[in-house]
A and B are shown apart, each in its own frame.
Chain A
Amino acid sequence: MKLLVCISKAPDTTAKIEFKDNDSKFNSDGVQFIINPFDEWYALVRALEIKESQGGSVTIIHVGLAENDPIIRKALALGADDAVRINREATDALSVAEEIAAYAKDEQYDMILTGKETIDHNGSQLGGMIAELLELPSISLASKMDINGNSATLERDVQGGKEVIEIQTPFVLSASKGMAEARIPNMRGIMAARTRPLKVVEPIGQALYTKVNKYVLPVEKAECRYIDAENPSELWDLLKSEAKVL
């Protein structure tokens, strides 16, 4: 099976969120960047498992500048065969989807995988957009997948439960928790990743559809009000009369 996994860069989950240049840009000083966890833990690892059991290849695709090469190398160290970097800053989901679709349209992938969302912009947009541009079926928020020849059985989140569905390749999916278990690259993988091909492709350069004007941090919470553990029922009165949420 020929698989394409889209990865995005995200600040580490413990990173302090601060902004600069009049609150128009994320302040990346001292911030460790990682592969977006949904892309790595679920989409990439499941793709690698499919390759290991069925044969085939896993290609990484990333839209970003050369400074992001370390996260692409990490994806290769986990076991991907090769990688493509489209040389453009990723600032808007639809323009990123158009770049990926333009590259993928002649490559005949059996499956294109993304994470369910990025942990920075929380868009949950890319997979569906790529699918529409390539006129492929799409499955969002998939938490389980079994492959049988050219047919896949997936579980996806729907209102108040899960749905089990069957679909033939090719298709696009966005992966959520449950799809696979996170892996740690081993030394052999890290060494091999250095020499695996990383192709840089120039962007088609489509104009943006959205842009960030500014960032705002949430207002600080007031001090916590403590309630006596011996007499906790006071909580219900406060939630009713003071907080007015009951």
Chain B
Amino acid sequence: MIISRQKEFKDILKTVELRNIFIIGCGKCAAKQHLGGEPEVLEMKKKLARSGKNVVGSTVLSSACNIASWDDVLNQNPDIKKAEALLVMSCGGGVSIISSVAEKAVYPALDTESLGGVCRDTIVLEQCGMCGDCDIWLFGGLCPVGQCPKSMRNGPCGGAVEGKCEADERKCVWDEIHRKLKSLGRLELLKEIHNPKDHSKRGRRK
């Protein structure tokens, strides 16, 4: 799941200078995080109206990043034609896909943070570093590229204090990697020296 967070409403107002706005929500990751589903879209509609904007309509697409036909979206939502701007309540993937098919000014309502997930109703951030070269099994299934702020692959830095990461409030993932590999009886994997990542494999377009 793509993890996003809500932009501050005042910042949205500042960027969307145009008056006639159509709001597009996303039924996938953004809806699951309560950031771009039906209730959030309706709430946004009210707030924009209160701030003097003319919301010409709204919809929640099943997935903002997966548009089979923009014509179909237009047919189902003819009010889009009246809009000068589209406010998209999805991750950057959805915003970009809609921008690429809609001949309108498109604005994001969310900030995209990381590739994470939801586990037992808890949103977990930054699970995968999207390095394009996955070898997560060497680390007990915990990605140090995504989960260590310094992306250290040969062990922890010296910055953690009592298991707490130097960079922010998270626990040091290296303690968890160690615990997991120990429980799997694979501690010898930690002795392996890992070469620098090949960043040319990252985010390559076909």
Do they bind each other? no
